[in-house]
Amino acid sequence: MRKPMAVANWKMNKNGEETRQFLRDYMAQASGITGAEAVICPPFTLLATVQQEIGSPAALARGAQNCFWEDKGAYTGEISAPMLKELGCSYVIIGHSERRLIMGENDEQINRKLKAVLQCGLVPILCVGETLQQRENKAALTVVKNQLDKNLQGLHVQPGQLVIAYEPVWAIGTGVNASSDDAQEMIACIRSRLRELFNDELASATRILYGGSVREDNAADLMAKPDIDGALIGGASLEADSFVRIARIIAHG
């Protein structure tokens, strides 16, 4: 059974007081959401605040938005997977399109990061997805398959240790989401590629999320699809009320 997930990606937003307020509001409203795993991925600087305010990861699991592939050393400005583990993280987002496109992260670097995260016992949330031009050129399936092949190359991963987020670049932060049929089609292809690259057990156990302008008014339609196991939520995760409402939809989807 794949437990659905609601993952909040705060990107580079919020300060300490805003985070404490979010957590108070979240905890006041979120009781009873047992059918989904809620995960919050704040900026690195706020992970300790979240750890102090919410002791138990069961109440709200933590993730980071990125990490480096080495454990320690002369890598100025970088943060390693063991450092994130110490701060109570269970998950690390790897290969978000903003990192691929703005910071120029390539597939080989993403592959090294995935290996480091798994080695440390954390669960990577690997983001894949095509640009608008690639979709218009009917290359979306090929692009995503290539990302999977390169990013997952040589990985030793057990069932349940990997999460994938299909995030079409043109849907992120634009207010335009993929249709539930298109998202289901791509996510089913991702699952079948996992079957080919690994095995049936891993493919069946891997949670595959949709991300890209998920809101309260489109979440139910997306979650009704058999292969969509939850959502990676950017803008709509910044307010506790809206994140909780989406998490409830995902829990009951």
> In whole angstroms, what is the distance from residue 33 CA to residue 100 CA?
33
What is the closest distance, in whole angstroms, from the C-beta atom of residue 220 to ligand PEP in the complex? Answer: 16
CB of 170 to ligand PEP, least distance (A): 10
Figure out which of the listed residues 70, 173, 192, 224 binds ligand PEP, where binding follows CB under 6 A. Answer: 173
Asked if 239 touches ligand PEP (CB under 6 A), the answer is: no
Closest distance of CB 9 from ligand PEP, Å: 4
Q: Which of 37, 53, 167, 196 is catalytic?
A: 167
197/192 Cα distance (integer angstroms): 9
Minimum distance, C-beta of residue 13 to ligand PEP, in the bound complex (Å): 10
Reference 118, options 85, 145, 72; nearest CA is: 85
Regarding 16 and contact with ligand PEP (CB under 6 A), the answer is no
φ, ψ (nearest 5 deg) of residue 124: -80, 145
Which among 96, 98, 105, 130 is annotated as catalytic? 96
Residue (63 or 235) nearer to ligand PEP, CB: 235
**Which of these segments, 31-39, 47-55, 184-192, 211-219, binds ligand PEP (CB under 6 A)?**
211-219
Nearest residue (CB) to ligand PEP, 11 versus 195: 11
218 is an interface residue for ligand PEP by CB under 6 A: no
Tell me: does residue 4 bind ligand PEP (CB under 6 A).
no
Q: Among this protein's residues, is 156 annotated catalytic?
A: no
HEC profile of the chain: CCCCEEEEECCCCCCHHHHHHHHHHHHHHCCCCCCCEEEEECCHHHHHHHHHHCCCCCCCEEEECCCECCCCCCCCCCCEHHHHHHCCEEEEEECCHHHHHCCCCCHHHHHHHHHHHHHCCCEEEEEECCCHHHHHCCCHHHHHHHHHHHHCCCCCCCCCCCEEEECCHHHCCCCCCCCHHHHHHHHHHHHHHHHHHCCHHHHHHCEEEEECCCCHHHHHHHHCCCCCCEEEECHHHCCHHHHHHHHHHHHHC
**Could you say which of 140, 233, 244, 246 contacts ligand PEP (CB under 6 A)?**
233
Q: How far is the CB of 227 from ligand PEP (least distance, A)?
A: 18
Contact residue for ligand PEP among 41, 117, 126, 232 (CB under 6 A): 232
Nearer to ligand PEP, 162 or 171 (CB): 171
Tell which positions 24-63 bind ligand PEP, by CB under 6 A: none
Under the rule (CB under 6 A), what is the footprint of ligand PEP?
9, 11, 167, 172-173, 211-214, 232-236
Q: Which residues carry out catalysis?
A: 96, 167
